[in-house]
Structure 1
C-alpha cells in the first residue's frame, strides 16, 4: 500500500509553518541588537500579522470544519478541526513571548524617557489631568450599553477595543459594554511631561466604574474580537441584473464586518464565571480566548511613538536612515523610456527608487508617439502618482487600459475608489475574472514612430505601490524585447476577452502555462542528475506538485537552494527524500518579497522573475506572470541579490528537518544581505554621480572593493 505524502516525513502543515514565520518576526522584536524603536515596530507587525492570520486562515478553517468535517490537508493529514487545535496550542506561547518582549522593550524605553504609565503610577497632577481629559474629551463621545432582556447584545466590529464589565444590581448580574471610540487617540500624552503617556483603553477601564455608576462593577477587562474575514466573492452567483463587479464587492465588504468570531483577546485574567459570558455570546471555546497580560491588543501606534522624542534621540533608537537610490542601470537625469529602447533595465526596490518608473508613465502620458498604456493593478498606495499619470494619459487622448483587481485582500475599498477615479478620467477599466484573481504585475507602453511599432514592457515581482516600494524588496524589469512586448499585448487582449487559455512565446502565464513550465524546467535539471542546480527565491511554498518535483530533484542529486521568507511546506534534509535541499528564510528591516527563479548554471542557466509564489492559489487560481531574463547585465544584478541572500549570517534562519529554524553559525565577519544591498546601491549612486558611465555589477567586485581587497 502506497504511503500518503504526509506519512513520508518531508512535508508540514502550511498554517503551522506560517506561525513559525511570524515567530521569526517576533524574534526580531526580541533581538537586543535591533534598535529599540524598531523592536517595538516588529511587535506591532507580529500583532497585525497574527490578526490577519486569524481573520483569513483560521476563519477559512472554521468554515471548512463546519461544512466538510472529513477534509484532509494533503501535507499533514489533519482535518480542519485538528489543524485548529494545533494552531490554538501553538499560538498561546507566542502571546507569552510577545508579553515578555514588550515588557523588555517598554522597560528600556522608560530609560529613554518614553514611558507608558499605568493610572496608579500618575502623580497628583497627572491624575487631575486624566480625570479632566476623561470628563471633557472622552465622556461626551462614549456609548455604553448594558445587556439584559430589554437591551440585546449588540454587534461588535472586529478588532475594535471594548471594555467589558460584569455588573451587579439588586442581586442581578448583567454585562456592561463600552466601545473605545474611534475618534479618540490611541495614546493620551501628559502635558509638561514629554514622552509620558497613558493608553486610552486604560483610562476607560479605570473610569468604567463611573460610566456604570448605578451598578457595582464586579470585574472588568479590555477585550476585542477577531471575526472571520475570509469572504469569497464566488460563494454567490451574481447575474447581470445585480449590477457590476464593483457593486458586488461593496456588498461583500459590508458582509465581512458581521461574520463569525474566531478569537477573543483579553488584557487581564478574569474569572471563569465572567469568561462564560464571552464563550456564550461569541460561541467560542476557552482555546479561542487569549490573554495578553502586558502587550496592548492593538499596537499600530508603534510606528509614530518615536515622534515624541527629540530628533537626535529618536535617530539613536532607530535604524540608520536610508533613501532609495538612483538606479545603477540608469544614469541620473536619463529617461527610462528612452533607455529601455536601447537595453534592458532592472530596478531593485527599495534599494533603488521607484521614481524612474513613475516618470516613465508620466513621460508616456505626454509623448505624442505613445499610442497606448496598459497595466494591471493589484495594490496601490492611498496617494498614488501612478493614477494621476494614467489619468493624464487618458485625458491626453492615449488609449489607457487598467485591469484592476477589486479583490486584493483588505485593499478592496481602496481599489474600488481608484477604479472610479480612473474611469472618470476616460481609462478603460477591466475587473478580471469571476474565479481568478489577477495578481500579475505588468505594464505595456506601445509607441508608433518612424521605425514602426515599439513595445516597452515592464514586468515586476511587486505592486505599483509607492509606499511599499520603500519597504518591500522587489525587482522590476523594463525591456523593449519585441517578443516579450508581443506576448504582453496578447496577454492584455486575452484579459479583455476573458480568455485564460492564451498562448505565449516567452512569458509564463498562470493558470494555464506557468506551473507546467516551472515543472518542466525542474525536469531539465533532474535529467542532469548531480550536475543539475535549482535556486529559487520566493515567499511561500504550498503547491504539492512543486513539492513533489523538488523531492524528485533532490533524489536525483540536484542541488536545490531555496530562499523562502514565509511558509515552506517542504522539509529539507529528510533522509531518502530531501537531503539535497536547503531552505533559508530572511526576516529583516525590509520585507523580502521578490521572486527569482534560476535553473541550471553558466551558459545553460535559465532565469525568471515572477509575481507568483509557489502556492496552489498562485499556480492554479490566479493570473500570474513569470518573465525570462535575457540580458547578462540584468542577470548579474539578480545574482548579486541572490548571492547576498545566500551568504547572510545575520538575519538568515535555516529550516531544519523537524520544521524548526536555526541561526547560521557565528562567523568572524558577519554579513547582513539587506545592509550589503543598501551599501551597494549607495556606492553605485556615488560612482554614477562622479562618472555617468554605469558601474559594472557583480558582488565579488563590490565585496572586494568594500573590504579593501583586489579584483
Structure 2
C-alpha cells in the first residue's frame, strides 16, 4: 500500500486544536440566533473549559519543560514551543471574551437585567447592598495579613481572592478569600445584581482598619490538578485516589488571572507563586465568570432561553421493557429521544424476581442517580450486582468515591477496574431466568449513565438481547473484574486489545475500493497519528471521507495529494455532540463506540466498539450522519491551517431538525 510520510506539517497540534474548539464555544456567545441568556451561558462554558485545560494540559506541558523534555509531539512542536503558542492564543481569546461579555451586559440591560459594579449603583440599591454586606458578608470574611509573621497563604486551586496593597512598612499586603457560600451575583431586587467582590472591595477598609490602602484587586490561581496514582504500589485504590484529591487543591501553580493591580502587587504574586510572565493573564472584565452558570439558572426568563425540548419516548418501550428489548434491537438517539428506557431497564431488573444478576460500568453518573439507587435496591433484593466504578474519572473522583462506598454498603460488588487503565466503556448486562434458559439483556452506549447529561449530550444507546453480543459483554466484564487477558470476542471489539486494529482495518478495506469508497465518522476528538495517516492513505486512493469532530482534530484536510478528499466539520450548539458513530460503505457497516480515535482511548482505556446489524437501526444511524453533514447553522469547516470557518448561508440547524425528526423516524 502506498504510504504517506509521517511528517509533522501534516498534523495540527492537539493543544492548539483544543483552543480552536473553545473559540467555537465562544462564538456561540456572539451568535444572535441564540437566546440572550444562552449566549451568557456559553461564556460560562468557555471559562469552565479553559480552567480544566490549564489544570491538566498546560500543567502537563509545564512538567515536561521542568523535566527537561524537549522531544516534539508528532506535529513537531516541543513542550516549550507549545506553551508559548498556548499563551499567545489564549490572550487573543480573552481579548475577544472581554468584548463579548461587555456586549452581553448591554443587551441584558435592555431586557431589564443589570449586573452593577458597586460604583454604578443608584442610592436606593447602594443602601440595600451595604445592608447585605453588613448582615451576610462581613461576618464570614477572613482577612489574611501577609507579613513576617504571616506567610503567604496556600490558596486552593481556582479559589477567588482579593489582594490588598497597603501603604505602610509593617503591613504591605493582605488577602481576602471571596466566600463560595454566598451568591457571586448578589440580587438586590428583581433584575438587579451586584458583584460580590465589588461589595467586599468597597468595604475593604473595615477589614484592615487603621491601614492606608493603596489598591485592592481580584486574582485567581490555577494549579496542577492532574492526579498521579501509583496503582501498582497502592494497597487500596480508593484510599490512594482520596489522597490524590487532597493534593490536587494545592498542586503547583500554572496560571494567575488578575484584574488590575499595581506593578508591585503583580511582582509580589508572581514571585510568591513562582510563575513566568507568560503564565499571568490580566483581565479587564470580572474574573471567575464560570459563575455565570449560577446566574443563568437563577434568572427565570424562559423567553431568553432555548425552548425546552421534551425527549421523545419511543412507543415500543411503552410495554414491559424486557419484552421490548427482546423483540428487536433498538437504537436511541439522546437527548432527542428519552433516556428513560435505559433507566427503566435497570429499575425493572432491580425488582424482577427472574433477574439473577446485573453488571454495569459507571464512569460519570452525577448526583442523586436513579441508576445507582436501582443497583442498590437490586443488591438488597438478593441479586448478584457488580458495578465497575471508575474512580479516576477526572473531576468526578470525589462524587464517584461517595456513591461507590454507598453501593458497597448496600451489598453491591464494587470493582475499581483494571490497574493502569480507565474503564470508559458504557456497558450494562442483565442476566434473566426465562422459560428457555438464561437470557442476557444488554445496553451499549456512547455516553455516561447520567440522567442529567443525557438531556444535553447527544449520545447513542443500543439495546439488544442478541445472544452473541451478550456473550461478548459477559466476557468483557469477566476480564475487567478478574484476570485481565485478551478475551475471545465475536461481535465486539475492545481497547486496549483490538479496537484500534479494527478501525485501521476498516479504513484500509475502504481504501481498496478507491473512488467507490466512503467513510463517515462522528466523534469528539481525532488525535491518533497512525489512524490519521490511514485516513490520508484512503484519501489518496480516492475515498470520500467526511468527519464530524466536535473538539480536537489533528488531521489537516484539503492538502493537495494527501487529504483533498477529506472534509472535517465541527458542530457546536444547543446540545453537546458526544456520540461516536462510524460508517463504512464496504459491506454497508455501521458501528458505535465509547471511544474517540485518540491514543488514550486505544491504549490506556477499556473501551468497546460494536457493529449495528439490524437494518432499521443502521438506517437510523446513517440518517443521523446524513442530517448532521447538511448542517450550515452550527457547523464549522476545518481549514488546512487549523482554523475553522462558518457557512455564509446558515439556513439548516441539524440539532433543531433532529428534535422533530426522531418523532417521524419510528423503529
TM-score by length of 2: 0.97
After superposition, give the CA deviation of every residue in 1:196-239 in whole Å (9 maximum; x if it has no partner). Answer: 111111111222233122221112211110111011213x7524
Q: Counterparts in 2 of 1:594-613, with a 5 A limit? A: 594-600=579-585, 604-613=587-596
The aligned length equals 665
Counterpart in 2 of 1:119? Answer: 118
Give how far 1:574 is off. 0.7
Q: Please say if 1:522 is aligned against 2:507.
A: yes
Q: By how many angstroms is 1:166 displaced? A: 1.2
8 Å contact kept, 1:59–1:262: yes
| Other structure's SS at 1:331 match | helix
User: Which digits, 9 at most, give the CA deviation of each residue in 1:220-279, with x for residues without a partner?
Assistant: 211110111011213x75243xxx211111011001111011111112x33322210111
Structure 2 partner of 1:481: 466
- Structure 1 counterpart SS, 2:306: coil
Distance 1:221 1:541 in 2: 41
1:14 pairs with 2:11 = no
Shift of the alpha carbon at 1:336? Answer: 2.4
2:271 maps to which of 256, 267, 280: 280
Q: 1:628 — aligned with what?
A: 611
Q: Secondary structure at the match of 2:569?
A: strand
**Is 1:271 the equivalent of 2:262?**
yes
Is 1:238 aligned with 2:233? yes
Q: Does 1:469 align with 2:454?
A: yes
SS in 2 for 1:341: helix
Residues in 2 aligned to 1:324 and 1:82: alpha-carbon distance in whole angstroms: 46
- Counterpart position of 1:640: 623
The alpha carbon displacement at 1:159 in A equals 1.1
2:308 to 294, 302, 321: 321
Q: Secondary structure at the match of 1:650?
A: coil
Tell me what 1:87 maps to. Answer: 86
Map 1:567-578; keep pairs closer than 5 Å. 567-578=552-563
Q: Give the 4+ runs in structure 1 shifted more than 6 A.
A: none
C-alpha distance in structure 1 between counterparts of 2:45 and 2:183, whole Å? 20
User: Is the contact between residue 95 and residue 291 of structure 1 (CA under 8 Å) also seen in structure 2?
Assistant: no
SS of the aligned residue for 1:5 comes to coil
Per-residue deviation, 1:172: 5.2
- RMSD (CA atoms): 1.6
Deviation, structure 1 residue 301? 3.5
Name the CA distance, whole Å, in 2 between partners of 1:62 and 1:133: 43
Q: Give 3-state SS (helix, strand or coil) of 1:162's partner.
A: strand
Deviations 1:87-121 (A, max 9, x none): 00000011111111111111010011110011111
Following superposition, the deviation at residue 153 of structure 1 comes to 0.9
Q: 1:153 maps to what in 2?
A: 152
Aligned partners of 1:406 and 1:415 also within 8 Å: yes
Change (3 A) 1:168 1:498: farther
CA contact (8 A) 2:347 2:374 kept: yes
1:678 aligns with 2:665: no
Find 1:356's aligned residue among 341, 355, 362.
341
Pairing of 1:143-542 with structure 2 (within 5 A): 143-169=142-168, 171=169, 174-190=172-188, 193-234=189-230, 237-240=232-235, 244-267=236-259, 269-305=260-296, 307-309=298-300, 314-327=301-314, 330-331=315-316, 333-542=318-527
Quick one: distance in 2 between partners of 1:259 and 1:500? Answer: 36
Q: Secondary structure at the match of 1:547?
A: helix
8 A contact 2:40–2:292 mirrored in 1: no
Match of 2:29 in 1: 29
Whole-Å separation in 2 of the counterparts to 1:194 and 1:99 = 26
Kindly indicate whether the alpha-carbon contact (under 8 Å) linking 1:41 and 1:303 is maintained by their aligned counterparts in 2: no
Deviation at 1:138, TM superposition (A): 1.2
Q: C-alpha distance in 1, partners of 2:258/2:488?
A: 54
Displacement of 1:129 in angstroms is 2.1
> Residue 373 and residue 306 in structure 1: after superposition, are their counterparts in 2 closer, same or farther (change >3 A)?
closer
Aligned counterparts of 1:134 and 1:361: Cα–Cα separation in 2: 49
Cα pair 2:165 2:265 within 8 Å, conserved: yes
Q: Report Cα offsets for 1:630-674 as digits up to 9, x if no partner.
A: 00111111122111110001000000111110112316xx21110
Structure 1 contact 655–661 (Cα < 8 Å) conserved: yes
- 8 Å CA contact 1:165–1:176 kept in 2: the answer is yes
Q: Does 1:130 align with 2:129?
A: yes
**8 Å contact kept, 1:162–1:177:** yes
Where structure 1 has 5 or more consecutive residues not aligned to the other structure, the ranges are: 685-694, 698-711
Q: Structure 1: how far apart are the matches of 2:89 and 2:134?
A: 42
Structure 1 residue 306, shift from structure 2 partner: 5.9
Take 1:417 and 1:347, find their aligned partners in 2: how far apart are those partners? 30
Counterparts of 2:5 and 2:228, CA distance in 1: 30
Q: Which structure 2 residue ranges, 5 or more long, are not aligned?
A: none
User: How far apart, in 2, do the equivalents of 1:418 and 1:505 lie?
Assistant: 34
Is contact 1:555–1:580 with CA below 8 Å preserved after alignment? yes
